[in-house]
């Protein structure tokens, strides 16, 4: 192919760099952005030197830079990644917010639509030598790699190289990509190469695939390329990666630029040994960045790792990481791990290009020092993200790129996946029990969160269209009114009582009946009363702070169905005398035993149904993003996450049914469409035991007399954006980090 290079007009000046080749300033716009140009006409803005990451400056010198940024997804609520719905207005708004936060780079995992690149160039037009850069990821054929377990498959290599060609051409505005389901497409005409910081090739590698590739191709010759090669110690998989980096370099050379390169790696395939890790797969094989070396690639090369503080389990279980204590006297296993890993990379820079914790109700892994995967409000999220960032910086890493910028409704987590049915509708609602959805610094709030403030005051309900609010039609002594509405995240309930609510003197219960079945509350919960014609699947309890929660009917409890005797057998059989309702729990860690694992690991679960009292009013001192309810005077207001009520997909009114687990797919649930939610409220006086309920003075009440709250299925979502508390915390953190570091 004939070598092509985009010509630069308006060369401002030529400078002579002592001890180096001649260079010059490339005037891209006004004000201009400087770029180094060697005698061969190749341009550079960033390069690596030893374990440092360097940037070329307007003064004609190279200086160390600490890379700090965020990962940016390609979607918004109501869409899956392949739909690529983000607009120019979205990008420009986000770029400004990210820039204001003090980040110097955005990392994208794959090729975005052409509008991303044109919007970034537009945003940077007047930024001169202080633009917002991006790190371009190149997506690997991940599903095929896992399925075929052989990286050298001809079709896999073809797909990967096709994606590399597309990515490079897209960055330089030199491709017309045809439409393809699940992929970006269109006319890429904007050259964004001057704002590129680095290439980030591939995705997290499946360890079994890496191991099988190495074994199947153990006689593969060392890859020797024009720009990247494998070392004499390189494995078959590492030689494969060297070839892909070399191919990426070949593609970029056509445009007269060089940028630093890295391939994606993660803790599972790191270069360390973890004797305290119970799962063999998490310590099965290594992929070593030092076994790939740049040749005639002056921009250099660095190692990139995804490192979270709670995964794999050895962050909790490996005694070799208990070497550094934090200010609270607890072991900081994350910092200890970073130190061990950095010691393996003394000659090339290393960055953590994914890390962070989510601000979600749900939890799926426990981390040392409380750095769990979920269960944090926005302030806690920010403080933990800041602490992790500081650990990365202090341990001498070249950069830290936080995961991530925006919440992503389509995401899934292992411990809620079995209950989100159908899976192809996850993007249409926000399940706050699924922590993967809520890593963002930018909250994607469900439709009514901008209108309804949970504070025990109901005046804001007047702003909701009347056809979106149902007044409960029953009567309960002491309760003037109950209203119900919903959005993509919650069922909202507002109650106006005759008298001031005092959780010390009384307790409010609301049974939620969605399908045939359910449990009768019993004498302890509903003394002297009996429900007929239906019963609740879930029970909302509002009382003292430690009491307030959502519980599941014992017969309905899908947590125990999945992990009990009829499922995975990790929970004991429920005794016959069990209470009619049990705490709402999620699995956090599964039971593991040798010889399947190195050592035994107990089943761990956690109560998730607790309802936090507070306010979601960001202007108040007691703001808590995880707030579920509040009372004020004689009013009570609450928002209940859909899954706590048994919903598998509220957008299509699907709830988990009572059926035994299906054998195919293995241990899977089924759903049934509900006609709505029948809410059964009652109030118990703690002193006298007197009950105020819909049955009045009668001892029985027919649940079918209650009109269910229902809604039309939706395929279009309403949402609003909101910068989280964690954004402001990270803004302060990024402003405190500089390079070079203090010695």
The more confident residue out of 612 and 579 is 612
| Percent of the chain's residues with pLDDT above 70 | 95
Instruction: Say how far residue 92 (Cα) sits from the centre of its chain.
Output: 22
Over residues 435-476, the pLDDT tens digits come to 999 999 999 999 999 999 999 999 999 999 999 999 999 999
Asked whether 68 and 734 are in contact (CB, 8 A), the reply is yes
Looking at the predicted structure, is the pLDDT value of residue 685 above 60? yes
CA-closest candidate to residue 454, choices 416, 415, 495, 513:
495
**CA-based torsion, 243, 244, 245, 249: positive or negative:** positive
Please name every residue paired with 134 in a beta bridge, in sequence order, or none if there are none: 106, 196
pLDDT tens string 208-217: 999 999 999 9
- Residue 378, Cβ neighbours under 10 Å: how many? 24
What does the alpha-carbon distance between residue 488 and residue 448 come to, in Å, rounded to a whole number?
8
557, two tokens: 């409890």
pTM for the full model? 0.94
Q: What is the pLDDT of residue 34?
A: 86
pLDDT in tens, 345-390: 999 999 999 999 999 999 999 999 999 999 999 999 999 999 999 9
What confidence category does residue 664 fall into, taking pLDDT thresholds of 50, 70 and 90? confident
Angle subtended at Cα 710 by Cα 709 and Cα 714, rounded to the nearest 5 degrees = 150
Q: Do residues 691 and 419 make contact, with C-beta atoms less than 8 angstroms apart?
A: no
DSSP state of 374: B
What does R_g of the chain's alpha carbons equal in angstroms? Answer: 28
Kindly state which CATH superfamily the domain 53-443+721-737 is placed in: Glycosidases (3.20.20.80)
User: So what's the pLDDT on residue 10?
Assistant: 31
Task: Give domain limits for the chain.
Answer: 53-443+721-737, 447-716
Using CA atoms, how far apart are residues 471 and 169, in angstroms rounded to an integer? Answer: 58
Residue 197 has pLDDT above 80, yes or no: yes
**Per-residue pLDDT for 742 more than 80?**
no
Pairing of strands 105-108, 62-64: unpaired
Higher pLDDT, 4 or 531: 531
Predicted local confidence at residue 741, as pLDDT? 67
Pull the structure tokens for residue 660.
């035994």
Residues 124-147 have pLDDT tens digits of 998 988 999 999 999 999 999 999
Q: Please write the tens of the pLDDT for every residue from 275-307.
A: 999 999 999 999 999 999 999 999 999 999 999
pLDDT digits (tens, 9 = 90+) for 483-536: 999 999 999 999 999 999 999 999 999 999 999 999 999 888 999 999 999 999
Kindly state the tokens that stand for 214: 């190495």
Residue 525 CB neighbour total at 10 angstroms: 22
The answer, yes or no, to whether residue 15 has pLDDT greater than 80, is no
Quote the CA–CA distance of 80 and 78 in Å, as a whole number: 7
- Cα(518)–Cα(511) distance, integer angstroms: 10
Task: Tell me the mean pLDDT in the region 235-249.
Answer: 98
Distance CA 514, CA 679 (A): 9
299: CB partners within 8 A, 6+ apart: 44, 46, 47, 48, 258, 259, 260, 261
The string of DSSP codes covering 541-596 is EESSTTT-EEEEETTT-HHHHHHSTTTTS-SPPPPTT--SEEE-EEEEE--B-TTT
Average pLDDT, the chain: 93
How far is 235 from 436, CA to CA, in rounded Å?
33
| CA-to-CA separations, 37 to 23, 258, 315, 564, in angstroms, rounded | 5, 10, 45, 66
Q: How many C-beta atoms surround the C-beta of residue 450 within 10 A?
A: 15
Q: Which among 82, 72, 179 has a CA at the least distance from the CA of 119?
A: 72
Q: What is the model's pLDDT at position 31?
A: 54
Q: Residues 13-35: what's their mean pLDDT?
A: 43
Q: What is the mean pLDDT of residues 7-23?
A: 31
**Over residues 396-417, mean pLDDT:** 98
With a CB cutoff of 8 Å and minimum separation 6, the contacts of 734 are 68, 101, 102, 103, 389
Which band of pLDDT confidence, cut at 50, 70 and 90, is reported for residue 24?
A: very low
Q: What six digits make up the tokens of 543?
A: 């009382």
pLDDT recorded at residue 577: 62
Q: In the predicted model, what is the mean pLDDT of residues 183-201?
A: 97
CA quadruple 345, 346, 349, 352: dihedral positive or negative? Answer: positive
Q: For strand 635-641 and strand 490-497, is the pairing parallel, antiparallel, or unpaired?
A: antiparallel
Using the predicted structure, report yes or no on whether residue 319 has a pLDDT greater than 80: yes
Angle between helices 154-171 and 114-124 (to 10 degrees): 30
Confidence of residue 677 (pLDDT cuts 50, 70, 90): very high
Q: Which residues pair with 685 in a beta bridge?
A: 506
The pLDDT assigned to 576 comes to 63
Residue 738: pLDDT band (50, 70, 90) is confident
């Amino acid at each position: 192919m004939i070598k092509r290079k985009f010509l630069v007009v308006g060369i401002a000046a030529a400078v002579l760099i002592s001890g180096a080749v001649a260079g010059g300033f490339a005037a891209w716009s006004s004000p201009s952005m400087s770029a180094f140009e060697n005698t061969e006409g190749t341009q550079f803005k960033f390069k690596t030197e030893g374990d440092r990451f360097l940037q070329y400056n307007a003064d004609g010198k190279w200086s160390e830079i600490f890379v700090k940024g965020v990962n940016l997804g390609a979607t918004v609520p109501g869409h899956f990644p392949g739909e690529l719905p983000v607009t120019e207005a979205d990008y420009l708004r986000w770029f400004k917010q990210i820039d204001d936060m003090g980040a110097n780079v955005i990392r994208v995992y794959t090729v975005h639509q052409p509008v991303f690149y044109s919007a970034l160039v537009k945003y940077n037009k007047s930024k001169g030598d202080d633009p917002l850069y991006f790190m371009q990821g190149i997506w690997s054929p991940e599903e095929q790699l896992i399925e075929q377990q052989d990286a050298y498959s001809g079709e896999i290599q073809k797909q990967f190289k096709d994606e590399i060609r597309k990515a490079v051409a897209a960055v330089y505005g030199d491709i017309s990509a045809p439409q393809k389901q699940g992929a970006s497409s269109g006319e890429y005409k904007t050259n964004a190469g001057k704002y590129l910081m680095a290439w980030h090739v591939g995705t997290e590698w499946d360890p079994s695939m890496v191991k099988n590739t190495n074994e199947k191709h153990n006689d593969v010759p060392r890859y020797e390329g024009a720009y990247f090669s494998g070392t004499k110690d390189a494995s078959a998989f590492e030689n494969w990666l060297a070839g892909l980096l070399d191919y990426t370099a070949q593609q970029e050379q056509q445009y007269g630029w060089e940028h630093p390169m890295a391939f994606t790696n993660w803790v599972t395939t790191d270069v360390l040994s973890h004797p305290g890790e119970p799962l063999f797969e998490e310590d099965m094989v290594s992929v070593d960045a030092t076994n790939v070396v740049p040749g005639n690639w002056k921009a250099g090369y660095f190692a990139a790792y995804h490192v979270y503080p709670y995964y794999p389990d050895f962050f909790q279980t490996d005694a070799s990481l208990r070497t550094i204590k934090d200010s609270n006297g607890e072991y900081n296993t994350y910092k200890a791990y970073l130190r061990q890993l950095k010691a393996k990379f003394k000659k090339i820079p290393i960055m953590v290009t994914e890390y962070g914790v989510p601000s979600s109700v749900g939890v799926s892994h426990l981390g040392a020092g409380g750095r769990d995967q979920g269960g944090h409000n926005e302030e806690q999220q920010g403080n933990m993200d800041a602490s992790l960032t500081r650990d990365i910086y202090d341990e001498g890493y070249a950069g830290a790129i936080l995961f991530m910028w925006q919440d992503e409704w389509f995401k899934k987590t292992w411990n809620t996946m079995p209950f989100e049915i159908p899976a192809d509708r996850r993007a249409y609602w926000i399940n706050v029990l699924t922590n993967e959805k809520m890593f963002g610094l930018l909250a994607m709030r469900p439709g009514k969160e901008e209108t309804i403030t949970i504070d025990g005051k109901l005046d804001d309900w007047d702003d909701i269209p009347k056809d979106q609010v149902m007044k409960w039609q029953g009567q309960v002594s002491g309760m003037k009114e109950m209203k119900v509405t919903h959005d993509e995240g919650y069922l909202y309930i507002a109650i106006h009582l005759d008298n001031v609510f005092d959780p010390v003197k009384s307790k409010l219960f609301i049974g939620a009946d969605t399908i045939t079945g359910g449990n009768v509350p019993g004498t302890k919960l509903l003394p002297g009363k009996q429900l007929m014609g239906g019963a609740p699947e879930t029970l909302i309890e509002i009382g003292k702070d430690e009491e307030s929660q959502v519980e599941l009917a014992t017969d309905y409890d899908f947590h125990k169905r999945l992990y009990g005797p009829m499922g995975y057998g990790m929970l004991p059989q429920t005794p016959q005398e069990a209470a009619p309702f049990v705490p709402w729990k999620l699995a956090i860690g599964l039971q593991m035993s040798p010889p399947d694992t190195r050592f035994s690991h107990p089943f761990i679960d956690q109560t998730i149904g607790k309802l936090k009292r507070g306010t979601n009013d960001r202007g108040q001192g007691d703001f808590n993003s995880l707030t579920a309810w509040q009372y004020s005077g004689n009013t009570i207001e609450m928002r209940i996450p859909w899954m706590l009520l048994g919903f598998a997909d509220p957008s299509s009114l699907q709830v988990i049914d009572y059926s035994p687990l299906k054998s195919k797919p293995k241990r899977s649930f089924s759903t049934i469409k509900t006609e709505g939610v029948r809410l059964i409220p009652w109030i118990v006086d703690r002193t006298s035991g007197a009950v105020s309920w819909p049955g009045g003075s009668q001892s029985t009440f027919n649940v079918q007399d209650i009109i269910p709250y229902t809604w039309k299925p939706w395929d279009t979502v309403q949402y609003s954006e909101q910068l989280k508390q964690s954004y402001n915390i990270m803004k302060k953190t990024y402003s405190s980090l500089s390079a070079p570091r203090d010695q």
